[in-house]
């Protein structure tokens, strides 16, 4: 069972990642190595994920659903690294990432009691 699980994980990895984890003989070892590579809580990784989140911009004509998926990726990565993101900060960051044509919505939301965000 362990061999099957390990093989399934290895099939899903890109070649560049595969070369870094091939020395792991068990699924647990493989998973721990992947965690160390990608879920490291180093300051630099947190900074780059925050930068990706804060620089995210939706362009006119883009799908809102696709933008939300793109927005949630760095948010989930930061949460996995135990970085605290309050709901209000996520809302403000998301609203700031919308194009100018969404300004009326932002004003309407702001008029509905979203005025005390920090």
pLDDT, tens digit, 9 for 90 and up, residues 14-67: 888 888 899 999 999 999 999 888 776 678 888 999 999 999 999 999 999 999
For residues 73-81, average pLDDT: 91
Q: Which residues touch 88 (CB under 8 Å, ≥6 apart)?
A: 117, 118
SS3 content of the chain, % helix, strand, coil (to 5): 70, 0, 30
Among 76, 68, 86, smallest CA distance to 49 is for: 76
Q: Is 83:40 a contact under the CB 8 Å cutoff?
A: no
In this structure, are residues 60 and 90 in contact, taking their beta carbons and an 8 Å threshold?
Answer: no
Q: Report residue 14 as tokens.
A: 């890109």
Supply 89's token pair: 């900060």
């Amino acid at each position: 069972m362990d061999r099957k699980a390990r093989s399934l994980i290895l099939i899903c990895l890109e070649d560049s990642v595969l070369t870094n984890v091939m020395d792991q003989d068990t699924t647990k070892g493989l998973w721990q190595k992947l965690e160390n590579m990608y879920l490291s809580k180093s300051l630099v990784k947190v900074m780059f994920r925050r930068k990706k989140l804060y620089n995210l911009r939706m362009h006119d004509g883009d799908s809102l659903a696709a933008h939300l998926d793109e927005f949630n990726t760095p948010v989930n990565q930061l949460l996995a690294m135990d970085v605290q993101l309050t709901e209000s900060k996520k809302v403000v960051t998301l609203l700031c990432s919308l194009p100018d044509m969404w300004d009326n919505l932002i004003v309407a939301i702001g008029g509905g009691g979203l005025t005390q965000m920090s």
